[in-house]
Amino acid sequence: MIAEFQAYCRTLTLLSDEEIERITAFAVPRTLPRGEHLLQQGQVCRHKTFIIKGLLRNYGTAADGTEYILQFSSAHQWILDPESYHLQSASKFKIAAIERTDVLQWPKAEFDTLLNEMPALNTYSQQLVSRINYTGRQRLFTTLSGTPEEKYDDFVINNPDLLSRVPLHMIAAYLGMSLKTLTRIRHAQLHR
Amino acid sequence: MIAEFQAYCRTLTLLSDEEIERITAFAVPRTLPRGEHLLQQGQVCRHKTFIIKGLLRNYGTAADGTEYILQFSSAHQWILDPESYHLQSASKFKIAAIERTDVLQWPKAEFDTLLNEMPALNTYSQQLVSRINYTGRQRLFTTLSGTPEEKYDDFVINNPDLLSRVPLHMIAAYLGMSLKTLTRIRHAQLHR
């Protein structure tokens, strides 16, 4: 796991080999079986987590018990509950493994130390947060404006790798529609 | 305008008086009449903008011409198109004044210089981006999961000051529902 993370850092950041060594020295590997929670609602998100392999969903439950998925995260993505992590407050949302998932984790105090020490890590971290911001705005706009058909098409175009890995009811929970509606759309597309 | 921004900085940031002076030395005041665009779709967002007084909406237009509003921003909030600003790319969304609005603006190059010079400005800026991230996630969840009634109630609770300032069709565009649906909900509430 460590070697894969180091290769990622060498390719996608301006961190030096010494800095990458120091960052990985703090990393704690963990494997989540399918279905296990990385974060439960009400828990405090105490780690920054980098996914080596696998697939997680970040989701919440509405008052009527229905689940809605904010985000799918797979290999070479970071995942955390930003509000709970930054404020060290109870999380409103949950994170769980859809597949068996290998991650590296950094406790917040250690990661904050690394951020203070390394301007290149700080820059990289800010770029990631900005990118999350853009994609979040685009997702909000699609959610507000799209017809169910447009939302599904958009999902297929932007997440071709997830189609075969995510159960249909979770795709429906991500798109904010019922499984029945999603099944109808897919059926209509097959007969186009 | 400058004095009001300086008072805001003294209250809500850890910037020194000298730093606040230097930041405001780069600020360009601008007044937008009601209806005027701060940013058009396709333009590059070249400024960071702080609202002294007034009200703006950040919105996009769907393929069928319908408008959807991502965000309302009023006094003492920052507004920009984050993707267009950071990448200096064509904006997918628009920003326009709902009321006559006074703003202060900083060209990107100047603001980047200030960020590099001042760790306290950098920290403040990162806190703002984090907060935008949380509120965006909460808004996405409400948009995905809420019934039209819940979405309207949520808007009323979180934006009591906007109810009398924003025309109904814009509240509908923010909530992702038709004006007819919104009118029906409001009518039902009056008769509760």
Q: How many CA atoms lie within 13 A of A149 on its CB side?
A: 7
Q: What's the N-to-C CA distance of chain B in angstroms? A: 44
Instruction: Determine the residue type at B108.
Output: K
Domains of chain B by range and CATH? 2-108 (2.60.120.10)
Residues of B with Cβ-Cβ distance to A171 under 8 angstroms? none
Instruction: Quote the minimal CA–CA distance from A132 to chain B in Å.
Output: 8
Residues of B with Cβ-Cβ distance to A134 under 8 angstroms? 82-83, 86
Provide mean pLDDT across the span B50-64: 96
Q: Is pLDDT above 80 for A192?
A: no
At B68, the pLDDT band (50, 70, 90 cuts) reads very high
Provide mean pLDDT across the span B105-111: 97
> Are the beta carbons of A95 and A56 closer than 8 angstroms?
yes
Give me the pLDDT at residue B115, please: 93
Q: Cα–Cα–Cα angle for B172, B175, B177, nearest 5°?
A: 60
For residue range B115-154, what is the model confidence (pLDDT) as tens digits? Answer: 999 999 998 998 898 888 889 999 999 999 999 999 999 9
Give me the pLDDT at residue B176, please: 94
At A63, the pLDDT band (50, 70, 90 cuts) reads confident
Phi, psi of A46 (to 5 degrees): -100, 0
For residue A91, give the H/E element and its range.
none
Distance CA B106, CA A6 (A): 38
Distance CA A50, CA A38 (A): 12
Distance CA B59, CA B94 (A): 5
Are B141 and A83 inside 8 Å of each other by CB?
no
Residues of A with Cβ-Cβ distance to B134 under 8 angstroms? 82-83, 86
Are B83 and A176 inside 8 Å of each other by CB?
no
Instruction: Determine the residue type at B20.
Output: I
Instruction: Quote the minimal CA–CA distance from B41 to chain A in Å.
Output: 14
Phi, psi of A33 (to 5 degrees): -65, 160
Residues of B with Cβ-Cβ distance to A141 under 8 angstroms? 60, 68, 70, 92-93
3-state DSSP assignment of residue A68 = strand
At A190, the pLDDT band (50, 70, 90 cuts) reads confident
What are the residues facing B84 on neighbouring strands?
none
Structure tokens at A154: 């958009």
Q: What is the pTM of this model?
A: 0.92
